[in-house]
């Protein structure tokens, strides 16, 4: 089970303790993993490598679900292992469906995770079961890191705003009653670090939300371009890197390389947040 208390407050305490708001994504791709390792063994090894540096790990549910019947057991084991190592866990599931289905999704992921990513396309009632889950953080997709996000998220509304900005306004409203002692809400937003200008704009639209910023590393985003995200404080955003850490070395030195890359990124984030 996840730790007690408000998600954003637990995150703020972890960032203060570790000194850098680094998230390491767990995307265990058998085609990229070192030879001879299973999914659980690989993910546990990454957790061991980054536990002293990162504040969060973000298992990507799809890579576990792709393992069939054993995948959910593997995800459960990895989440439990990460929490025992002192890390918060965001399960990257991107769920969102009609209310009855959403309740089932929330019941499935709440025992595993400190937070979960969700898709807002079906509206508030599709996400309400996640918001109502005690202590669970929720990261709503707002402006995603992939190039194709422009196809829908940048469509202009009648008032001239892109659609993603409207979604950001909804997220701010949905999270307004779920603000912790840190001043941050348990309802956060996923905003791609690959779009630095949009990150800065999202920060203005979402003054109480933690921003989950994927795209550093393999997708080309840089921590130094994300300073605006931390204008509300060092826990105002979490910067996520996955492949650049996981597969820094695919040979015998894979753990050492992952630890070194995580520390390098953490150093850059300390400079950006003026914590180090």
The pLDDT of 37-62, averaged and rounded, is 97
Nearest to 218 by CA among 238, 242, 198: 242
Quote the tokens at residue 29.
């791709």
What pLDDT score was predicted for residue 3? 59
Task: Evaluate whether residue 171 is within a structural domain.
Answer: yes
**Region 51-65 average pLDDT:** 97
Mean pLDDT, residues 93-111 taken together:
96
Closest CA to 94 of 130, 125, 66: 130
**List 18, 58, 84, 94, catalytic entry:** 94
Q: Kindly report, residue by residue over 139-158, the tens digit of the pLDDT.
A: 999 999 999 999 999 999 99
pLDDT band at 218 (very low <50, low <70, confident <90, very high): confident
| Residue 33 three-state SS | coil
- Tell me how far apart the alpha carbons of residues 110 and 170 are, in angstroms, rounded to a whole number: 22
pLDDT for residue 2 = 57
Contact 131, 138 (CB under 8 A): yes
Q: Mean pLDDT over residues 180-205, rounded?
A: 97
**Would you say residue 228 has pLDDT above 50?**
yes
The rounded distance, in Å, linking the Cα atoms of 103 and 101 is 5
CATH label of the domain that carries residue 48: 3.20.20.70
Parent domain of 224:
7-273
The verdict on residue 2 lying in a domain is no
In 6-158 the beta strands, taken as DSSP E runs, fall at: 22-26, 56-59, 88-95, 115-118, 137-143
Q: Is residue 193 assigned to a domain?
A: yes
Distances 131 to 172, 175, 199 between C-alpha atoms, Å: 13, 8, 23
1 lies in some domain: no
What integer pLDDT is reported at residue 4 of this predicted model? 67
- Does 49 map to a domain? yes
What mean pLDDT do residues 90-112 have?
Answer: 96
Check pLDDT > 70 for residue 59.
yes
pLDDT of residue 160: 97
**Whole-structure pTM value:** 0.95
Q: What's the mean pLDDT when you consider all of the chain?
A: 95
Specify if 23 maps to a domain. Answer: yes
Kindly state the average pLDDT of the residues 231-237. 95
Q: What is the number of domains present in the chain?
A: 1
Percent of the chain residues topping a pLDDT of 90 = 91
Tokens (6 digits) for 162: 């892109």
pLDDT bin (cut points 50, 70, 90) of residue 217 is confident
94 is catalytic: yes
């Amino acid at each position: 089970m996840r730790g007690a208390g408000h998600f954003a407050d637990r995150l703020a305490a972890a960032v203060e303790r570790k000194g850098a708001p680094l998230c390491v994504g767990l995307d265990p791709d058998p085609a990229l993993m070192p030879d001879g390792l299973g999914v659980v063994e690989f993910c546990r090894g990454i957790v061991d490598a980054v536990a002293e540096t990162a504040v969060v790990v973000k298992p990507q549910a799809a890579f576990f679900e792709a393992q069939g019947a054993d995948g959910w057991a593997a995800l459960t084991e990895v989440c439990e292992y990460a929490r025992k190592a002192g890390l918060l866990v965001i399960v990257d599931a991107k769920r969102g469906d009609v209310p009855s289905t959403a309740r089932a999704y929330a019941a499935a992921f709440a025992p595993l995770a400190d937070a979960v990513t969700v898709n807002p396309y079906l509206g508030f009632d599709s996400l309400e079961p996640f918001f109502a889950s005690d202590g669970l953080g929720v990261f709503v997709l707002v402006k995603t890191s992939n190039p194709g996000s422009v196809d829908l998220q940048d469509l202009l509304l009648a008032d001239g705003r892109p659609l993603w900005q409207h979604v950001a306004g909804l997220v701010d409203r949905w999270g307004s009653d779920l603000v912790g002692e840190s001043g941050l809400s348990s309802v956060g937003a996923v905003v791609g670090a690959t779009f630095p200008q949009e990150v800065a704009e999202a920060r203005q639209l979402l003054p109480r939300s933690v921003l989950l910023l994927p795209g550093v590393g393999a997708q080309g985003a840089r921590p130094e371009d994300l300073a605006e995200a931390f204008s509300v404080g060092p826990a105002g955003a979490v910067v996520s890197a996955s492949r650049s850490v996981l597969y820094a070395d695919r040979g015998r030195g894979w753990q050492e390389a992952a630890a070194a890359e995580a520390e390098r990124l953490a150093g850059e984030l300390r400079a950006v947040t003026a914590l180090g």
